[in-house]
Structure 1
Amino acid sequence: MSVIIKPIVTEKITKDGELFNRFGFVVDKKANKVEIKKAVEAAFGVSVVAVNTMNYRADRSVKYTKSGLISGKTNAYKKAIVQVKEGESIDFYTNI
């Protein structure tokens, strides 16, 4: 089971990484904080201080068009904000 699905690279998360050593990841829905901490430490070689998780639900939407109703939804996912030890950093652009 792969715990880390992909990193989150947005303006807000990038700013948090520069100021507070916090980085965001989309993780498996069933993963807990201990598993996320071990996966990040193994993948990037950093020491994790704290892990905060958030579950995002699927949002449903309906659009009224000329051809009728179009319904859709976004995917549900779990997001983890990981704080690493002072002085350490994760560079998403060089690590594969």
Structure 2
Amino acid sequence: MMLLQTEKALRLLEQYNTITILVPREYTKSKIKEFFEKKGYKVKKVNTLITKKGLKKAYVRFKEEGVARKVAEELGGL
């Protein structure tokens, strides 16, 4: 998993408690959610899409405030 640090990704992080990550194409929404819940974070919602370049992007929104920033720091992004 790789954290994206675009303007949109940072805005989502700040305003909506959501991280944006690139994941392998075989990962499902439930697999992504399970990954973060095993680490002790409560996930509210996971959205995925395939980019034009063929990469899979996931938007992971957390239930508790401020968790997205903590997760981003753990993934080595901020």
Query: CA RMSD of the aligned region, Å?
Result: 1.6
Determine the C-alpha separation between the residues in 1 that align with 2:19 and 2:38.
15
Matched, 1:78 2:56: yes
Determine the C-alpha separation between the residues in 2 that align with 1:56 and 1:49.
23
8 A Cα contact 2:42 2:64, kept in partner: no
Unaligned ranges ≥5, structure 1: 59-75
Determine the C-alpha separation between the residues in 1 that align with 2:8 and 2:30.
25
Of Structure 1 and Structure 2, which has the larger fraction of its residues in helix? 2
Q: Which runs of 4+ in 1 moved over 2 A?
A: 40-43, 90-93
Matched, 1:56 2:51: yes
Unaligned ranges ≥5, structure 2: none
Give 1:49's aligned amino acid.
K
Give 2:28's aligned amino acid.
N
When normalised by structure 2's length, the TM-score is 0.79
- Give 1:89 shift: 1.6
- Give 1:15 shift: 1.0
- Give 1:42 shift: 2.8
Larger radius of gyration: 1
> Structure 1 residues 7 and 42, CA, compared in 2 at 3 Å: closer, same or farther?
farther
Identity fraction in percent: 29
